[in-house]
Structure 1
Amino acid sequence: MIERRALPRTRLDVPGRICLDEHRSVSCLVYDRSDRGVRVTLPEADLIPDTFLLEIEQAPTFFVCHLVWRKGEEIGAQLEAA
């Protein structure tokens, strides 16, 4: 298998929350993360918009994310540069 990632990812397996808008959010599992990207699993993957806010339980901040791919119950997103 050829590795296509620009940066190595760290496996997390921690709870997270995706904000769909100012009134709705969905729970997710943040599977892994790098400095530039994240992979998330959730049953409602088809509801996730192209740009969203992600809160990772172990990090006390929100990340602005841009959807890159979607496959079944998983999504991959790029983290916006700070």
Structure 2
Amino acid sequence: MDLFNRLVSEQMATMEKLLYLQTELERCQQIEEELQTLQNATDLDSIQIDIQLMKKELKEIQLIFEKQTEEVINSYKETNLTTSI
């Protein structure tokens, strides 16, 4: 019976280690998942900043294009007025 009790005690100690490691593994996997989410959020912030900069640049280029279009139209009108006189 002493052998049986010793084996059961060893098995219980092993079970405690197993449960502890299983709990720790799940905790670490949860932390890993949260860190991956944070990493993705960091990437998202970077992409959002890039998008805002590109939108600003696009708006500036659109304004320049509109101004150039007005200049082309005015130049065309002046050329036609001068030619028709």
State the TM-score, normalized to the length of structure 2: 0.12
Give the number of the structure whose residues are more often helix, by fraction: 2
Which has the bigger relative contact order, CA under 8 A and spacing at least 6?
1
| Larger Rg, first or second structure (1 or 2) | 2
Give the number of the structure whose residues are more often strand, by fraction: 1
State the TM-score, normalized to the length of structure 1: 0.12
